[in-house]
Each structure stands twice: as C-alpha cells, then as structure tokens.
C-alpha cells in the first residue's frame, strides 16, 4: 500500500510539473505575441526612422519604414513612411532611386495632402544637381519640367513664391548653356551652327538676363556668314532693347561700317 501511494504521488508530481511547464510556455508565447502586436506604435517607428536617417543609417531606416507600411492597417502613417523612404535615398546620394520613390508616392496617394510636396521634391532633386552651365543644363531642363508640372497640377501649392525663383534659375542655366555652345561654334567658325543655337536661345528665352551678349554674338555670326541684312537687324535690336549695355557702343560702330557699303 505504501509503495502504491509513493508511486501515485510521483505520477501526480510529474503531472502537475508538466502542466506548470505547459502553462509557462503558453503564457510566454502568448505574451510575446500580444506584446508584439501591442508594441507597434507607428509614430514611434517613424521617429526612430528619422533618427536613423539623421545618423546616415539609411538602410536600417528603410527597414523600419517598410515595417510601418506593411503593418499600418489604417493607412494613416504609410504615406509618411513612403515619403521618408524617398528622402532616405536622396540624402544618401541615390538621387534617381529617390525620385522614383517620390513618383511612387504620387501614384499611390495622388490626393494626399503631401502630394504637392512630393512633386516639389522631385523638382528639387534635379535642381540640386545643377552645378554650372556646362554640366547643369540637363538637370536644369528636368527640374524646370517638374516645377512647371507642379504649377499645373497643384496651382495652390505652398511653394509658389520660391518656385518662381527656382524656375528663373533653371531658365538662366539652360540659356547660359546654350550661349556657351553658341560661342563655341562661333570660335570654331561654324557660323551657321552658332546662328541656329543663338536664334533658338533668344526665341525660347526672350527676357534672358544676358540677352545683349547673345544679340552681339548673333549679329557677329550673321556678319561673318555674309548675312549683312540680318546682322544690321541684330545690331539695331541690341541698341534699342539694351541702350545701356556694354555692347551697345560696339554695335553702333558695326552699324557705321555698314554705311560705307
């Protein structure tokens, strides 16, 4: 009887021990699942991503932001995450990828309050690549197109004042590049090529800040190409439109030479 009691007590002990172990394991597993679900705070994740981006930990930041996009069932924070993903690429120097991520934002959230911001950042991504007329003309052309697109799609965008300055800068850079090419052709005595370039420049940008310089170059190219009538017109136009220009005296002297012919 005593042996049977001892055996019974042993089995009861093992039973309760096993139940306790199962309870602990179940509790721990369940606790972790609840903690993970309850621990998802999209705003905290976004703040963490900001810190990582500022610390130049761009890849880690994108992992956090993708977590927000994948787990944000309300879709209230996913647009912000997408914007920050684009920003992380731009700040990391991957301009083309950053631009594509901003375009993705506009495709996914065209009516979002930050849609005009995304379009502006696309223009600024190109704008930031403008370095000088000989290398920045292509970037200026792309930036100009994106800024004009911003004005057309979002006429009430919050960047209207600064946008006009950006557009003017782009146009001047493009025009400077065209003038530089025109001068190159003129010096090579490729006068027709120079004429085509400068004529196009003045037609596209009639209020170009260096219009007087473009006109004197055009007039001289006409003269060198034996197109005297057009040369006279260009010299006269320079004097009329830019009477105070440093090139006006030269234009007058050139016109005097034509009188003797």
* pLDDT value at residue 30: 43
DSSP tag of 77? S
Q: N- to C-terminal Cα distance for the chain?
A: 143
pLDDT in tens, 186-196: 999 999 999 99
Q: What's the whole-number average pLDDT of the chain? A: 86
- Report how far Cα 104 is from the mean position of its chain's Cα atoms: 13
* pLDDT value at residue 34: 30
Using only the alpha carbons of the chain, give its radius of gyration.
Answer: 35
Distance CA 12, CA 243 (A): 111
Using the predicted structure, report yes or no on whether residue 133 has a pLDDT greater than 60: no
Using the predicted structure, report yes or no on whether residue 231 has a pLDDT greater than 60: yes
pTM score, two decimals? Answer: 0.75
Average pLDDT over residues 17-26: 50
Using the predicted structure, report yes or no on whether residue 31 has a pLDDT greater than 50: no
Who's near 213: CB < 8 A, 6+ residues apart?
Answer: 179, 247
Give the confidence band of 10 by pLDDT, cuts at 50, 70, 90. low
* pLDDT value at residue 40: 78
CA distances 116 to 87, 102, 119, 122, 231, Å, are 15, 11, 5, 10, 47
Distance CA 71, CA 74 (A): 9
Average pLDDT over residues 230-257: 94
pLDDT in tens, 199-223: 999 999 999 999 999 999 999 999 9
* pLDDT value at residue 150: 97
Give the confidence band of 32 by pLDDT, cuts at 50, 70, 90. very low
pLDDT in tens, 73-117: 888 999 999 999 999 999 999 999 999 999 999 999 999 999 999
Per the structure block, which two tokens stand in for 194? 């120079």
Using the predicted structure, report yes or no on whether residue 24 has a pLDDT greater than 80: no
Shortest CA distance to 86 belongs to which of 62, 110, 68, 63? 62
């Amino acid at each position: 009887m005593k042996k049977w009691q001892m055996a019974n007590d042993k089995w009861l002990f093992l039973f309760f021990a096993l139940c306790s172990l199962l309870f602990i394991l179940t509790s721990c597993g369940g606790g972790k699942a609840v903690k993970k679900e309850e621990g998802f705070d999209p705003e905290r994740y976004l703040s963490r991503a900001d810190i990582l981006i500022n610390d130049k930990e761009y890849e880690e930041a994108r992992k956090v932001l993708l977590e927000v996009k994948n787990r944000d069932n309300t879709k209230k924070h996913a647009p912000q995450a997408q914007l920050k993903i684009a920003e992380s690429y731009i700040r990391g120097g991957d301009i083309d990828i950053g631009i594509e991520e901003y375009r993705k934002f506009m495709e996914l959230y065209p009516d979002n309050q930050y849609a005009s911001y995304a379009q502006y950042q696309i223009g600024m991504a190109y704008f930031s690549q403008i370095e000088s007329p000989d290398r920045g003309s292509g970037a200026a052309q792309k930036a100009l197109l994106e800024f004009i697109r911003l004005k057309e799609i979002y006429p009430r965008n919050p960047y209207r004042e600064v946008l006009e300055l950006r557009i003017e800068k782009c146009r001047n850079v493009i025009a400077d590049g065209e003038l530089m090419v025109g001068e190159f052709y003129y010096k090579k005595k490729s006068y027709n090529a120079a004429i085509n370039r400068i004529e196009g420049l003045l037609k596209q940008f009639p209020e170009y800040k260096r219009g007087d310089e473009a006109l004197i170059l055009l007039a001289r190219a006409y003269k060198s190409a034996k197109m005297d009538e057009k040369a006279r017109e260009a010299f006269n136009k320079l004097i009329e439109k830019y009477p105070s220009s440093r090139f006006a005296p030269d234009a007058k002297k050139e016109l005097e030479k034509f009188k003797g012919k």
